Structure formats: structure tokens, C-alpha cells
């Protein structure tokens, strides 16, 4: 039951926050404690229509024709304002996700202004190819491309890195002159709403940035992707939801950019620096409680060092500190919800049925009364599984990994590529030739050697297979958020 004192997280349409309808609200819960953060106003069909119409008007009122240098300057002002309100974003991110304050500050919120600045620079510096063609009779033709905004773009972002991934999509879309309608995850609505406030403060024209809250099927997500006024959809989330979005937009043949799930492999060779590999694996398996699409869930270890890696990684998993997000000593937060924890625990049961040996974790921790209602789970490692077992084949999206031995390089490559997903891989070796050789044979969008999660924002990023369609980052983002018109002039 809603009371007048409850905090509402509101929709933002055409430059203003919309007064909530108390009959269309849902709870936003803190996953660390289970406490109520606030009530979220679920957008209905008329409100989504208003958002699309506002975005369309913003394009026609001149946003699409605003010089690139002016759009880039506005993005830089937004980056500055995010930094000025940094701790507000940190607090909002923690309340929605329960992640440790150190991670929220150093990764999630820090990347938001970096994304705005990177795409401001990329858009301002981008050029186009031109071609001079010799024709019969000594004449020539000049061909050059003019890039124009895609139009009204639906931006649908997940709950695991909500602000980071939101700005990763919104920044290039705005830099290219599009108007956007953001549908954040129903689990993490706060930072998108706060970003709307920032963009209003820095003078973004009304209608260029809109936020509608709600769920997927039968709610704001489906209303948005099915809307005839949408010119393209960018989505990060599960492969199943991506397939549903694709079916929804197919009748209107709208372009999509999807970064979907992953079942990522790490390959560890016996010539590796053990401490360096264990440090990297601890990050790649357990960062954000394993709730990153790039996290490692399959660790293939050359047999001669298998026991060293298994024992060392289990020891490091046991040293992770689960606790209050506000405590700087906390390394590991909760899962996003009780429902997601039930899903992950279901894979614990499947692993047990398949004969797995639990070498770390395997259950729900006891963290005391203050956190008992949170969605906590122990960092968990298994041995004894194979690529045929469901916990090794299906994305779990939790702080879990299966460790599996291999003997030869060819076997390691075959095991790592034995998946329908293709997002990321990591190769750990001190043989630089082997590192290049193996990394290039991974069927993934990004392949790391002796590192993980290192990102160059100008490089292309995306996945293959069930892990997505298209690439974003640098000029790859500009290609998605614009459409070229080729102009051919006979000289």
C-alpha cells in the first residue's frame, strides 16, 4: 500500500517528470537488505505514446540538425555534471543493486562521465570516406556519404551495470543526433531517472531524452519496442529477451543492436604466472557477484597445474568479504533479487546431481539479522563437471564457475568454443605467441590475453551466436546510430 511519504521514482517525458499514478506502481527493493527503496511509476501505453511523440518532435525541432560540435559540448557538460553529483549516483546505484561502494565508485559511476567524453570526442572527430570515379569520356564522379541520425531510438538496459551500460548507449545516440527513450530494468530504475535530471540541468532540449519505467512483456518494454514510431532498438540483456525483441521489431524491419548473454571461458596454460592468473580469475569469476555478461563461468586449466589453480582460486573465494554495501571492506554484494537467487540455487542442485565436487561455497551465507532478508549467495566453485552438463552449458549469471582440466592447446580451444554463446574469453599464458594464437581462435567478440575486463572505448564490442548482433564502441556505435546517404555527383 502506497503512502504519501513513500518516495516515487518517476517517468521523464518531454523535459519534465510525470506525476505518478498510485494505481500503477511497483516496489523497488534493496537487494542487500530487502528493504523498500521506493515506488516506481509504471508507464502505460498513453505515456509511451507521449514519449515517442516528444522524441519525434525534438528531432523535427532541430536536434537532428544541431552541429556535431554543439552536441559534443553538451555531452561534455553532462559528464562534468555527473562528476559534480557523483555521490548521488553512487547512492542510487547502491540502493538499486546492493553492490559494494568501492565498485560503485570506481567502476559503475566512474565509467558514466568517461562514456560521455569518449563518444563526444569520437563523434567530433569522425569523418567519411569519399571516392573519385573515372567515367567514360574523361569525366569523373564524386561519391561521398552523409551520415544522418537513425531517429527515435529505444534504449533498453539491464540491471547488472545499469548506469554504465545506460551511458554506453545514450552517449553515442545523442552524439549522433538521435532522440532516445530509455527503459531501464524494473530492478534498477534510479540512476536513469537521476541522469534525466542531469541532462535537464545541462540544457538538453525537451524530448531528446525520455525515461519510461516498467517491465518487459505486456509493459513498457514491449510497448516501446512494438511502437511504430521507433526507428531502432539497442538492448543489453538475456538472449531469450533479445530473441523476443527481435520478433517484435521484425514486421517493421527496424535495426537492432544486441549485447546478450555469455557463457565465457578462461583458458589457463601451465606456463602461466600462477599468482597473476589467480588474481585475474578471481576478478573474472566474482566481480559484481558474477553478474556481468563478461564474467567467466568456465575455467579450463592445463592438467599439470589444475590442482594449484583449483586450490588457489578456492582459497581466494573464501577470502571474499560479503557484507553491507557501505562498508569499504566489502568485496561482494548480493544477487539482484530473491528470484534470481532461486535461479542460481537451482544450478547448485543441478551441479550436485551431475556429480560436481564443491571446492568453495555452495550455499547461502549467514550474514546476520540486518542482511538476512537480502539476496545473498556464497561464491562457489565446482570440479568434476564436463561440457555436457547443464551448469557448464547454460548461463547462470552468479558468482560461480566450473573448473575443467585439459591436456593440449587444441583441446583447450575446442572446449572453450563448445558453446552456443560467443561474448568473451580470456587466455592466460606467458608464451606471447601462444596467447595471440589462441585468442584469435576464440569465437567471441572480445578475447583477452593475461587480463580481463580491460576496455578500450574506441574498439568494437559485441558478441556472436546467442551473445548478440552488431558492434558498439567508437565508430562502430556511430555506424549503428546513424544511416548514411551516398551522394553521387558527376563532375
Residues acting as catalytic residues: 259, 293
At residue 253, what are phi and psi to the nearest 5 degrees?
Answer: 50, 55
At residue 17, what are phi and psi to the nearest 5 degrees?
Answer: -80, 135
Region for 106 from its dihedrals, namely left if φ exceeds 0, alpha if ψ lies in -120 to 50, beta otherwise: alpha
* Alpha carbon 24 to its chain's center: 27
Question: How many residues are recorded in the chain?
Answer: 491
Residue 146: CB atoms within 10 A of its CB come to: 11
Q: Quick one: which of 233, 78, 122, 81 has its CA closest to 457?
A: 122
Q: How far are the Cα atoms of 10, 40, 44, 115 from residue 21, in angstroms, in the given order?
A: 10, 10, 10, 34
- Tell me which DSSP letter residue 377 carries: -
- Greatest Cα pair distance in the chain: 87
- Tell me which DSSP letter residue 408 carries: S
- Extract the C-alpha cell encoding 49: 505514446
CB contact at 8 A, 436 and 449: yes
- Extract the C-alpha cell encoding 285: 569469476
Distance CA 107, CA 333 (A): 14
List the beta strands (DSSP E) in 150-226: 152-156, 179-183, 209-211
- Name the one residue in this structure whose C-alpha cell is 580470456: 426
Q: Which helix (H) or strand (E) holds 382?
A: strand 380-383
Burial degree of 270 (CB within 10 A; 0-12, 13-18, 19+): middle
Q: How far apart are the first and last CA of the chain?
A: 72
Amino acid at each position: 500500500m502506497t503512502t504519501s511519504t513513500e518516495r516515487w521514482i518517476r517517468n521523464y517525458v518531454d523535459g519534465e517528470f510525470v506525476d505518478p499514478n498510485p494505481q500503477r506502481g511497483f516496489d523497488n527493493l534493496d537487494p542487500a537488505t530487502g528493504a523498500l527503496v521506493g515506488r516506481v511509476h509504471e508507464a502505460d501505453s498513453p505515456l509511451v505514446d507521449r514519449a515517442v511523440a516528444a522524441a519525434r518532435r525534438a528531432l523535427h525541432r532541430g536536434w537532428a540538425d544541431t552541429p556535431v560540435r554543439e552536441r559534443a559540448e553538451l555531452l561534455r557538460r553532462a559528464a562534468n555534471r555527473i562528476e559534480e553529483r557523483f555521490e548521488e549516483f553512487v547512492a542510487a546505484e547502491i540502493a538499486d543493486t546492493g553492490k559494494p561502494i568501492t565498485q560503485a565508485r570506481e567502476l559503475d559511476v566512474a565509467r558514466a562521465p568517461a562514456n560521455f567524453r569518449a563518444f563526444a570526442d569520437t563523434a567530433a572527430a569522425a569523418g567519411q570516406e569519399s571516392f573519385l570515379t573515372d567515367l567514360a569520356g574523361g569525366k569523373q564522379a564524386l561519391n561521398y556519404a552523409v551520415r544522418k541520425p537513425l531517429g527515435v531510438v529505444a534504449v533498453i538496459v539491464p540491471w547488472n551495470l545499469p548506469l554504465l551500460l545506460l551511458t554506453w548507449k545514450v552517449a553515442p545516440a545523442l552524439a549522433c543526433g538521435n532522440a532516445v527513450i530509455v527503459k531501464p530494468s524494473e530492478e534498477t530504475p534510479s540512476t536513469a531517472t537521476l541522469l534525466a535530471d542531469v541532462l535537464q540541468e545541462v540544457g538538453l532540449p525537451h524530448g531528446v531524452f525520455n525515461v519510461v519505467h516498467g517491465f518487459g512483456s505486456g509493459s513498457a518494454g514491449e510497448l516501446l519496442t512494438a511502437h511504430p514510431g521507433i526507428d531502432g532498438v539497442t538492448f543489453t540483456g538475456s538472449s531469450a529477451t533479445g530473441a523476443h525483441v527481435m520478433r517484435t521489431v521484425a514486421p517493421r524491419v527496424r535495426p537492432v543492436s544486441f549485447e546478450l548473454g555469455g557463457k565465457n571461458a578462461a583458458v589457463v596454460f601451465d606456463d602461466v604466472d600462477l599468482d597473476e592468473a589467480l588474481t585475474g580469475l578471481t576478478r573474472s569469476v566474482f566481480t559484481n557477484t558474477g553478474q556481468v555478461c563478461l564474467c567467466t563461468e568456465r575455467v579450463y586449466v592445463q592438467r599439470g597445474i589444475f590442482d594449484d589453480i583449483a586450490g588457489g582460486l578456492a582459497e581466494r573465494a573464501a577470502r571474499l568479504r560479503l557484507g553491507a554495501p557501505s562498508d569499504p571492506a566489502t568485496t561482494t554484494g548480493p544477487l539482484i533479487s530473491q528470484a534470481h537467487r532461486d535461479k542460481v540455487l537451482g544450478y547448485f542442485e543441478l551441479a550436485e546431481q551431475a556429480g560436481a565436487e564443491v571446492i568453495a561455497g555452495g550455499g547461502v551465507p549467514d550474514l546476520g539479522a540486518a542482511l538476512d532478508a537480502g539476496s545473498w549467495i556464497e561464491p562457489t566453485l565446482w570440479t568434476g563437471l564436463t561440457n555436457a552438463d547443464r551448469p557448464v552449458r547454460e548461463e547462470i549469471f552468479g558468482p560461480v564457475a566450473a573448473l575443467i582440466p585439459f591436456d593440449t592447446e587444441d583441446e583447450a580451444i575446442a572446449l572453450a568454443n563448445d558453446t552456443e554463446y560467443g561474448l568473451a574469453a580470456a587466455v592466460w599464458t606467458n608464451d606471447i605467441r601462444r596467447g595471440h594464437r589462441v585468442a584469435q581462435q576464440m569465437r567471441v567478440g572480445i578475447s583477452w590475453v593475461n587480463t580481463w575486463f580491460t576496455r578500450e572505448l574506441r574498439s568494437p564490442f559485441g558478441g556472436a551466436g546467442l551473445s548478440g548482433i552488431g558492434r558498439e564502441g567508437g565508430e562502430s556505435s556511430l555506424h549503428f546510430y546513424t544511416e548514411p546517404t551516398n551522394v553521387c555527383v558527376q563532375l
